[in-house]
Amino acid sequence: MKKKVALHNLGCKVNAYELEAMQEMLAEAGYEIVPFAPGADVYIINTCTVTNIADRKSRQMLHKARKMNPEAVVIAAGCYVQAQKDMGKIDDAIDIVLGNNRKQDLLFILENYKKGGGQEKEVLDLEKPVEYESLKLSATGEHTRAYLKVQDGCNQFCSYCIIPYVRGRVRSRKKEEVLEEVRRLTQNGYQEFVLTGIHLSSYGIDCGESLMSLIEAVHEEEGVRRIRLGSLEPRIITEEFAEKLSRMPKICPHFHLSLQSGCDATLKRMNRRYTAQEYLEGCRILRHYFENPALTTDVIVGFPQETEEEFEESRKMIDTADFYETHIFKYSRRKGTRADQMEGQVSEQEKTRRSHVLIQMGKEHKQQYMEKFLGKQVEILFEETAEIQGETWWIGHTREYLKAAVKSDENLENCIKSGTVGGFAEEGVFICAI
């Protein structure tokens, strides 16, 4: 009888990619993939450690798995367990620890454990040079859009971030491996690809390549209709970079530039290596080469020592940048980072107040941006049906990653069609006629 495996992911898109790769590996080896519920023989939790809260959620899911079947094999993978210095102190709920860069060894480690080979609780030292971990996909949980992990690790050492310590230094995936995966996925019907990594802008610095050379190679692949880029560092946006992107018709005009603060003093304490003015220049360049691109960002409020004046400086800069979407995060302390040891920690009450100010401003900018498309023609990649106000609509995303809904008796799944924006089906969702 097939062994049943349940998997659960916590954290980022890179984690999600890795979990899907492990799931595909298990399915090909004859395991039955089942929902994360009681009854599985093996539970795999791909953990996150970006904040202390993420650590707690990781522990909770591991305990939940153990309770669902006390006799099951519980595997803790990823960043949370990588961060634990003394593996002997890891929770008793865990049978197997699968640190970063060991996920490719999942089948061997699991089979060895089942044969009585003992617990696996060692992790690689990612402070030392390691090779890029070879994981692959031929299908994903989404049926139209595929995330491509092309890079791992980070060399930036922002003062609030634990990721360089648990992911290690920058490692790039071989270009040919990426292209082979693109070909497998296009053969299985995928048309849109999102290039992602822990620090995507660093792709190639360890192997004589560049992110642009990879983008150009993916762009040449037959079957690829759309390319999106994951989070980018502002400094990568130069005139030359944007001009080259603008000459590639498959590139979607949707760019996520990580900001974190619009105040130079705060950016310096964060060890972010750009100024607010340099960031705004990147936004200007993208808007010069692309018509009305969707610019999105992340912002941390309440970073240690952030004064009211610094917050206001940041708010004004974010208002000037005029983002389509602004993802607001209250600063969360993370043990093992320099920011955790800084004096002048901001109260939770004040962080909440500041986040509400920016969230409200972000909603206004998003609505204003979307209204620019009223009466305009957009290209939509349809993904699924959904109920909106008691009616069934086909839902998809434009090249700018704006959500659009149409009424149609035709099966539009994974179809790309042009439509005219007529209004809003609900907040944040266009009504289009095709």
Whether residues 353 and 410 share a domain: the answer is no
Domain boundary among the residues 356, 371, 386 is at 371
The model's pLDDT over 185-206, given as tens digits with 9 standing for 90+, comes to 999 999 999 999 999 999 999 9
Entry pTM:
0.93
Whether 94 is covered by a domain: the verdict is yes
What values do phi and psi take at 13, rounded to 5? -65, -30
Whether residues 393 and 363 share a domain: the answer is no
Whether residues 334 and 412 share a domain: the answer is no
Would you state the pLDDT for residue 127?
63
Assess contact for 45 and 22: CB atoms under 8 A: no
Whether residues 167 and 50 share a domain: the answer is no
Would you state the pLDDT for residue 415?
97
The model's pLDDT over 267-283, given as tens digits with 9 standing for 90+, comes to 999 999 999 999 999 99
How many domains would you assign to the chain? 3
Whether residues 230 and 310 share a domain: the answer is yes
Whether residues 93 and 171 share a domain: the answer is no
Kindly state the tokens that stand for 293: 């691109």
The model's pLDDT over 143-191, given as tens digits with 9 standing for 90+, comes to 899 999 999 999 999 999 999 999 999 999 999 999 999 999 999 999 9
Whether 136 is covered by a domain: the verdict is no
The CA distance from 317 to 331, in Å, is 19
Whether residues 356 and 384 share a domain: the answer is no
Whether residues 12 and 71 share a domain: the answer is yes
Whether residues 333 and 391 share a domain: the answer is no
Which of the residues in the chain have pLDDT under 50? 87-88
Whether residues 355 and 395 share a domain: the answer is no
Whether residues 404 and 353 share a domain: the answer is no
What values do phi and psi take at 30, rounded to 5? 100, 5
Domain region containing 66: 4-114
Whether residues 358 and 386 share a domain: the answer is no
The CA distance from 341 to 324, in Å, is 34
